[in-house]
Amino acid sequence: MSTKDLFLIVDYNLSRVADVAYMARYARQAYRVRSLLIRPDPGPRDYLICDDVIDLDPRRADFVEQAVSALGDKAARVRGAVVFSDNAVHSGAALLERLGLPVDDAALAAGAFSKHVYRQAEARHRPLLEAQRLMAPDCERIDSMAALEAFARRHPRGFVLKPSCEGNNRGVVLVRAGDDLARAFDEVAPYLAEGVICEELITFRREFSYDGIGALAFVTEKVSASGRYPVEIAQVLPANLLDAERHTLRRAGDLCNVLVGQRDGPFHNEIKLSDDGARAAVVEPNRRPGGMKIWSLAQAVYGIDLYARWVDTALACAAPIDLPPPRLQGATVMLGVASDGLFAQDDAEDGKRLFESALVATIAAHGLAPGQLRAGDFDWLVRERRVVHAVPRDNADFLAQVTIFLGTFETDIRGVLLTLREQWQELLSDAQADLRPYAANAKPAASAPL
């Protein structure tokens, strides 16, 4: 290949800017190709991380035709490509098919964007799934209170109300028997235009994700908040599983990949597991790397650079590799507040210093030896002043995201991360005792990107 060849990246969510920059840099160094990015409303940093940028929205009905036109003569120079956002998973794959590039199936990719389309695919194959002890929840698109009430009557034990095509746990409401349906409907009203669905409640308590690329797969354990808003507060790798439980999750994850057309590319399938480990149910599929730095955790835990692997797959049809044993435990942890309030990054003069203090207190609380627990990345999620809730409603109700690594398997990192979150909140409250009280008329929190 030569520097006249192009590596195409179709869209990305803003929190992935460092990953896109790394992939573009790796492609240039390893394969001597220039990077070309397609995304809507590109900003100055897009032109810094990629060699060329095309301003185009992958959700346009005519995206493929517009992209081909915008590429012009460059289309013949594209030697490989990746699709890096949920919004582009369907149209981006269709573009790659039009360009004759290797890509996972475009038509089936719709199931990796629309939760409703995926549930419809499950319903068509229900006997196959049930034979594998996989639950396919009842699902219905609703657009009125009458439809919501009818679904509630069919599922008196409870159900989940959520947008059809939305990430970040945004708009997800758990509705139990006796809950106010009108209030629940109001909470999802902003998403009605794009589609809102009701899903039968999956009663399995434990949740995991089946992550990987191509034939390489691993299981990540999810730690979620309890109550009305099941927001993710941590991701843990490796997941603590029995062999039988791992087998169940692998069956569920692989069948999910089949339904959404995944073959060679990345996947992040969220799955719930029964207490006995024999049954599973897919919460949602994704044909992209998992959020909350799951691939970064995997690099530390297993020593595999999955972002480089993705570029290799796109440009060189890389052969599958085996997953080595884990070297340590890793977790991505979301850090919040102890009470509702208005918050801006400037309210904590040095958030990283506060976090390091919380880490020291956590090490002492668990009696860990020096060097056993170390910090990775610390990233602020709040910039401008906005309301942050003590009981998180979605990913916007967190101040920061951190990664931690535990160099021993004698202590469970899940207990460690819970202590770390508590220590952070205590130290933040002490440092910011004058944090403004919650204002009822304040603007709601803007959602953090995936």
* Per-run averaged pLDDT (10 residues), the chain, 450 residues: 84 92 97 97 96 97 97 96 96 97 96 94 96 95 90 90 73 85 88 88 94 96 81 93 97 97 96 97 96 95 96 87 93 89 68 89 96 92 80 83 96 96 88 47 40
Q: Which residues touch 61 (CB under 8 Å, ≥6 apart)?
A: none
What's the pLDDT score for residue 436? 42
Instruction: Tell which residue, 17, 22, 18, 24, has the closest CA to residue 3.
Output: 24
Domains and CATH numbers, the chain: 6-103 (3.40.50.20), 138-200 (3.30.1490.20), 328-450 (3.30.300)
**Amino acid 450: pLDDT:** 35
Chain-wide mean pLDDT for the chain?
89
pLDDT of residue 126: 95
CA distance 313 to 223: 31
Residue-level pLDDT at 25 = 97
Q: Name the nearest CA neighbour of 307 among 319, 286, 322, 290.
A: 290
DSSP 32: -
pTM of the complete model: 0.89
Q: Which long-range contacts (CB under 8 A, 24 or more apart) does 432-439 make?
A: 432/347, 432/348, 435/337, 435/339, 435/341, 435/342, 435/343, 435/347, 436/341, 436/342, 437/340, 437/341, 437/342, 438/339, 438/340, 438/341, 438/342, 438/387, 439/342, 439/387
Residue 193 CB partners (closer than 8 Å, separation 6+): none
The pair of three-digit structure tokens given for residue 74, joined into one six-digit string: 């460059």
Q: What is the dihedral of CA 103, 106, 108, 110, to 10 degrees?
A: 120
Question: In the block, which residue shows the tokens 């269709």?
Answer: 94
Tokens 């990540």 label which residue? Answer: 220
